[in-house]
Structure formats: structure tokens, C-alpha cells
Amino acid sequence: DVKVTQSSRYLVKRTGEKVFLECVQDMDHENMFWYRQDPGLGLRLIYFSYDVKMKEKGDIPEGYSVSREKKERFSLILESASTNQTSMYLCASQWTALNTEAFFGQGTRLTVV
Amino acid sequence: AQTVTQSQPEMSVQEAETVTLSCTYDTSESDYYLFWYKQPPSRQMILVIRQEAYKQQNATENRFSVNFQKAAKSFSLKISDSQLGDAAMYFCAFLIIQGAQKLVFGQGTRLTINP
């Protein structure tokens, strides 16, 4: 079975802290995605990556950055956490074969206080 | 920009009946893929059904089927014989395949099944 693992299920951080959210997949997927999920807004794409060291901005990249040094790992970085970044963060991975599904991690509920 | 719109924040249906969730999207691309995902209370996203835009035939998966209207940019999900286990958030998603592949989701519809 494909497994996408996010490093934490729940996280509490202080305003101004640098926060790292880690995502690891075990199926050699090329594509990886980071979303935030907020009630009424659905899943909004923050960043995505289609290869090692390659990244593309999604629809809401402000305040975030990403790193993909190895194919299996895609990190989301909040440079200086703010309270409006309190949210559920979901990571997903997918092969580039076009009709394949994306596999998701369990999500990280981040609270910034 | 490509967008996906789900206009029904919440829906409810009686057990064993049929319900349709709506989804519209906006794109200038001609080749793309569409998906419906389900997110139960456990938070684990699960693929329900997928549709290739170049195929005219609507996809079906057991009790789940879609009504894909390419000209209208509409992609609705029909759930037949609803079961209690179908209760979840349902998300419509759109995969852009030109250049870097980008997977865009709608706002979601919360489906409640009444026993």
C-alpha cells in the first residue's frame, strides 16, 4: 500500500516561530503537493513539486516556502508563523501518469498562538 | 486561473435514496482529468471516482457515477442507494496536465445520511 506520512498530527507553535511540516511518501511518486484545508474554503494549494528540487507556487504561497531535496520528502516551511496560518495542512503525492489518484497523508492540525 | 466550484456546502439524504452533488470548473485547457474524493471524519482522503476529459462516457464505480458535461464544464456525482458509511466531506478536483501537473480542489460538500 502507498503510504504518505506527515510528521505530526497536531502541532502548536508560537507567533513568529519558524515551522517545518514534513511529508514523506514511499512509492517513488514524482508529484507532491501541500494544501491547507479551512472550513468553507476546501483545499487550497500552497505549493507543489514535480521533481527533486523543482517547485511551483500554488494559489496561496504567501508566507510559505518548500523544500524537496529528496524525491520522497517534501517539506513545507512557515518562515514566521502567524495566527492566520492556523489550519489543517494536507500533503499528497501522485505519479505523473495522468489518470492516477493522489494519495494523502493524515493531515497536520497546526495551531499558532 | 483554473477554479473548481462546489455550490452546495451541505447536503443530506435518507438512507437508501439517491443524492447528486454538483461541481463546476473553469479552465481554458482542453485536456484534463476530474476526480471526486471523499474525506470521512477520520480525515483520510479517499478517491471515489475519476473521469478523463477526452472520454464522453460517464465513469461509474458501483453505486457512484458521474454526469460529465464538458461544454458546460460540469461534473456532478451521483450516489445511489446511500449508506451510512457514505457520510463525509466530498471534494471535486481537477488535474491540469499542461506543464507541471497541478491538482486543484473545490470547497467541498458535507454529506449527511439520515437513517
Q: Is the model's pLDDT at A108 over the cut of 90? A: yes
Residue B110 forms contact with A (CB below 8 Å): no
Q: What is the pLDDT of residue A99?
A: 62
Q: What is the pLDDT of residues A32-54, one digit of tens each?
A: 999 999 998 999 999 999 999 99
Which residues are bridge partners to A89 per DSSP?
A36, A108
Question: Are the Cβ atoms of B105 and A107 closer than 8 angstroms?
Answer: no
**Distance (Å) from the C-alpha of residue A61 to the closest C-alpha of chain B?**
14
pLDDT in tens, A59-100: 999 999 999 999 999 999 999 999 999 999 999 999 876 667
The reply to whether residue A44 touches residue B108, judged by beta carbons under 8 angstroms, is no
User: Does the pLDDT value for residue B10 go beyond 90?
Assistant: yes
Which pLDDT band, with edges at 50, 70 and 90, does B28 fall under? confident
Model confidence pLDDT, tens digit, residues B29-70:
888 899 999 999 888 899 999 998 888 899 999 999 999 999
Q: How far, in Å, CA of A4 to CA of A95, rounded?
A: 13
- Choose between B98 and B24: higher pLDDT: B24
Distance between CA A74 and CA B35 in Å, rounded? 23
Over chain B, what is the mean pLDDT?
93
Asked if A34 and A46 touch (Cβ cutoff 8 Å), the reply is yes
CA A79 to chain centre: 14
Q: Give the C-alpha separation, B53 to A88, whole Å.
A: 30
Residues in chain B within 8 Å Cβ distance of A59: 1, 104
Query: What share of chain A in percent tops pLDDT 70?
Result: 97
> ∠B96-B98-B102 over CA atoms, to 5°?
35
| pLDDT over 90, % of chain B | 76
Which residues in chain A are closer than 8 Å to B108, comparing Cβ atoms? 42-43
Q: What is the mean pLDDT of the segment spanning B75-80?
A: 98
Predicted confidence (pLDDT) at residue B98 exceeds the cutoff of 80:
no
Which residues, other chains included, contact B11 with Cβ-Cβ below 8 Å and sequence gap of 6+? B19, B21, B109, B110, B111, B112
Task: Report yes or no: A36 and A59 within 8 Å, Cβ to Cβ.
Answer: no
Q: What is the CA radius of gyration of chain A?
A: 13
A2 vs B: CB within 8 A: no
Return the C-alpha cell found at A17. Answer: 516561530
Q: Give the pLDDT score at A98.
A: 60
- Enumerate the residues of chain A whose CB falls inside 8 A of the CB of residue B105: 35, 42-45
Instruction: Give dist(CA A36, CA A19) in Å, integer.
Output: 15
**Span B96-100, average pLDDT:** 76
Q: Using CB atoms within 10 A of its CB, is residue B22 exposed (0-12), middle (13-18) or buried (19+)?
A: middle
Between chain A and chain B, the number of residue pairs with CB atoms below 8 A apart is: 61
In this model, does residue A11 exceed pLDDT 90?
A: yes
A11-35 mean pLDDT: 96
Interface test with A, best of B101, B107, B109, B110 (most A CBs within 10 A): B101
Q: Comparing C-alpha atoms, which of A49, A105, A36 is closest to residue B45?
A: A105
